[in-house]
Structure 1
Amino acid sequence: MALFSENADVSVRPAVRGDEHAIARIQLNAWRVSHADVLAGALDLLDEAAIESQWLAAVTTPPGAGFRVLVACDGPTVVGVVSLAPVPAAEDRPFDAPGGVILTLEVEPSQQRSGHGSRLLAAAVDTLRQDGADQVHTWVLDGDSARAQFLASSGLGPDDVARDLASGTLPDGTARVVAEHRWSASI
């Protein structure tokens, strides 16, 4: 009788050159599923080649210390991504250790609810702690109840900070604005 585990070959690792193709595809696919109504119109304007180029730069030449891109793998296949940036103490909470921000946390829609998001979040928190961070935050678009539920179950919560983003143009020519709310936790 052979013994096996359904999750025997899942992992999180630092992204490397060549992952940018999968990362861009995952991000766009996830946004098209999660944010189709909120980002209607804006998603159609995204240039996949430009997004790949930006991910390549993020992976190979990050803008500074503390900027990282990690990927979740199912066997050899990249199925998720998390990107991190430092938040200096002066910008976040004066006199405390610096924090970190999760810029991106996406899992290929067909791979969601398989534990990849949790592994990515855990790896992100571990990485931030190794960098000396004592807190983490991220942003959630209005209406993204699945992300809010995931973050809440992971110990993050909204902290009453919000920002508005332009997400395209309405039929009358005015800018369409969507709100994001910051979620945070001590780590």
Structure 2
Amino acid sequence: MSHPHEGPHDHDHDHDHDHDRPVADASVRVATPWDVDAVGAVQAALWREAFASLLPAEALDAATAEEFARVWRQSLATPPSGAYRLLVACAGEEVVGFAAVGPSADPDATDVDGELLVGGVTPAARRTGHGSRLLNATVDTAGLTGFARVRTWLLDTDEATRGFLQAAGFAPDGARRERVTGPAERDVAGEVRLTVDVPQ
């Protein structure tokens, strides 16, 4: 199991405006160790949704909520070097989404390039504005930790997430890469990178 910061970039945010169906007590906050089980459950659901047709069965079976939670618990207890932050979106007290932001590890990155590393909103909580709040908070958090730009990678077939991100100001910057999804030579998935400037 990979570190959560190296997991799939499943930005499964809701794609409607916040006013479509208001949510009482909706919020975004910094995650605590008590949130890791809920974050693990959301990430496992997103992983299966995004990669069910791309990853071999053994990889999907290993991507359990418990395993994701274990790695997040370890990450919060001994944070990696650099300005990493884990945020959670909440409906009342229930965690319904998460996002991790940290330094970009891309070869062309500079000290002011942050990255939305992984995140999303659970399917049952979409179309209620959680994704927009989470994305805005992630970009704001990146700015507060010294980043001038935020990058993110997503599957080049994920038109819904690309549309959501572009509506929020992200734009393709021309970078592409391939993610290995299995042992065979054909087991690769294309990804594109989108970038946004942090508001000053």
CA pair 89-36 structure 1, distance change in 2 beyond 3 A: closer
Q: Which runs of 5+ in 1 are unaligned?
A: none
1:185 corresponds to which residue?
196
Instruction: Give CA deviations for 1:136-170 in whole Å, capped at 9, x if unaligned.
Output: 1000012111111111111101111111111124x
Asked whether the equivalents of residues 72 and 120 of structure 1 are also in contact (C-alpha less than 8 Å), the reply is yes
Establish whether residue 154 from structure 1 lines up as the match of residue 168 from structure 2: yes
Q: CA deviation digits over 1:13-38, x for unaligned, max 9?
A: 11111211111110111222233223
* 1:76-109 deviations in Å (ceiling 9; x for gaps): 000000001123899424xxx6121000121101
User: Is residue 99–residue 128 contact of structure 1 (8 Å, CA) maintained in 2?
Assistant: no
- Aligned residues with identical type, % of pairs: 36
Q: Report the Cα offset of residue 175 of structure 1.
A: 5.6
Letter in 2 for 1:85: G
User: Is residue 176 of structure 1 aligned with residue 190 of structure 2?
Assistant: no
Q: Which has the larger radius of gyration?
A: 1
Q: Which structure shows the higher strand fraction?
A: 1
Among 42, 57, 62, the residue aligned to 1:26: 42
Q: In the alignment, is the contact (CA less than 8 A) between 2:30 and 2:86 conserved in 1? A: yes
- TM-score (norm. length: structure 2): 0.79
User: Is the 1:73–1:79 Cα contact (8 Å) retained in structure 2?
Assistant: yes
Q: Which residue of 1 aligns with 2:143?
A: 129
Name structure 2 gaps, 5 residues minimum: 1-20
CA RMSD of aligned residues (A): 2.3
Q: Distance in 2 between matches of 1:116 and 1:40?
A: 31
Q: Which residue does 2:63 correspond to in 1?
A: 46
Partners of 2:28 and 2:88 within 8 A in 1:
yes
SS in 2 for 1:92: coil
**2:104 alignment counterpart:** 87
- The one-letter amino acid paired with 2:114 is G
Q: Which is worse superposed, 58-67 or 14-23? A: 58-67
The answer to whether structure 1 residue 72 and structure 2 residue 83 are counterparts is no
> Which TM-score applies when normalising by structure 1?
0.85
